[in-house]
Amino acid sequence: MRAVTVPHPGDAHVLTVTDVAEPAPGDREVLIRVTAAGVNGADLSQRRGHYPSPPGAPPWPGLEVSGEVAGVGAAVTEWTVGDRVCALLPGGGYAEYVTADAGLVLPVPPGVDLVEAAGLPEVVATVWSTVFQLAELRSGETLLVHGGSSGIGSMAIQLGSAFGARVIATAGTPEKTAFSRGLGAEIAVDYKSQDFVEVVKDATDGHGADVVLDIVGGDYLSRDLDALAVGGRIMSIADRSGGTASIDVGLLMRKRARIWGTTLRARPLSERVAIIAAVRENVWPLLETGRVHPVIDSVFPLVDAAQAHLRMESSAHLGKILLQAR
């Protein structure tokens, strides 16, 4: 089978289509004939040599796929050959076939295109586990989402709004702020011309944001704290700044605030399986009714993975970028 491999760290052009052995499912695994794979920031970090696949996972990128079940392990009873599925992976999604633990597989919701379903598992699991499970966002609270036009941001806006939160999003262009409002953000801040701290304070009459979803890191953390409500929670899930953060510890204490740093791929399998079960229970019904939907920017052929990475690095995308394997 074909897979997009990374022979050595580098820019997007190091991505190479390679013939590799087709995987075989273990006892509790499902073999998926890949239709499409999602492109994520973690894939770019892996390509650059900063975020390798965990032990046991294929060494090439890809954290989520959609497709059809092509085989099942001896102990798998919940999936059968031919099922339309999408799955969360520790790696290896940039390929024509991949195996996934049966507990990390989800049915493609009715009404969702099989290709577009590849853009769901990673973003939905990330947003649900951070914003709702850890930060415990509640109806009526204010959620501040950085990068509202990203894959993560577009899902966080939709889910926050669907569960009764007031959503404020940041983005870098008028097109992206309009895009964020179209997904359900009550207020969209152009961070290049506006101070999101002041906007949040003004919009909440000084209360601040109850939960912040931060995909930027660096000096944003100190500004997040300034914008935070007393008892607020900051979820730090990526560091695009490449630097360290300095915060006012006294303000952190006065606000009785919490800052969580977390990733998804590095969590134990049992935790990821529990997250997927919660996603199926709480988010999948919203996808089935159309209240929440995958937001797709563009779809590239698998062999054009380099162009997909360049698209993501341009920051021009609105929503998810996908690779179509067939």
Q: Map out the domains of the chain as residue ranges.
A: 2-120+265-324, 124-261
Cα end-to-end span (Å), the chain = 12
Convert 221-255 to b/e letters by CB count within 10 Å (16 or more is b): bebbbbbbbeebbbbbbbbbeeeebebeeeebeeb
Q: Parallel, antiparallel, or unpaired: how do β-strands 64-72 and 84-88 relate?
A: antiparallel
Task: Check if 2-120+265-324 and 124-261 are the same fold.
Answer: no
DSSP-H helix ranges across 117-248:
121-127, 151-162, 174-183, 196-203, 220-227
| d(C-alpha 172, C-alpha 182), whole Å | 15
This prediction has a pTM of 0.95
pLDDT surpassing 80 at residue 242: no
Q: Which CATH class is domain 124-261?
A: alpha beta
Q: What pLDDT band is residue 41 in, cutting at 50, 70 and 90?
A: very high
Q: Which CATH architecture has domain 2-120+265-324?
A: Alpha-Beta Complex (3.90)
pLDDT of residue 150: 95
pLDDT at 142: 98
Question: What is the pLDDT, as a whole number, of residue 322?
Answer: 98
Residue 12 pLDDT exceeds 90:
yes
Predicted confidence at residue 247, as pLDDT, reads 87
Q: What is the mean pLDDT of residues 137-155?
A: 97
- For position 217, what pLDDT does the model report? 84
Judging by DSSP bridges, how do beta strands 64-72 and 2-5 pair with one another? unpaired
Top-confidence residue, 154 or 244: 154
270 confidence band (pLDDT: 50, 70, 90): very high
Percent of the chain past pLDDT 70, that is, above it, reads 99
**Looking at residues 34-62, what average pLDDT do you find?**
95
Q: For residue 129, give both structure tokens.
A: 């586990």
Question: What pLDDT, on the 0 to 100 scale, is given for residue 31?
Answer: 98
pLDDT at 244: 79
Q: Give the pLDDT score at 326.
A: 83
228 pLDDT band (50/70/90 cuts)?
very high
- Cβ neighbours for 82, distance < 8 A, ≥ 6 positions apart: 68, 69
Rg of the chain in Å (alpha carbons): 19
The pLDDT assigned to 61 comes to 98
Section 161-183 average pLDDT: 97
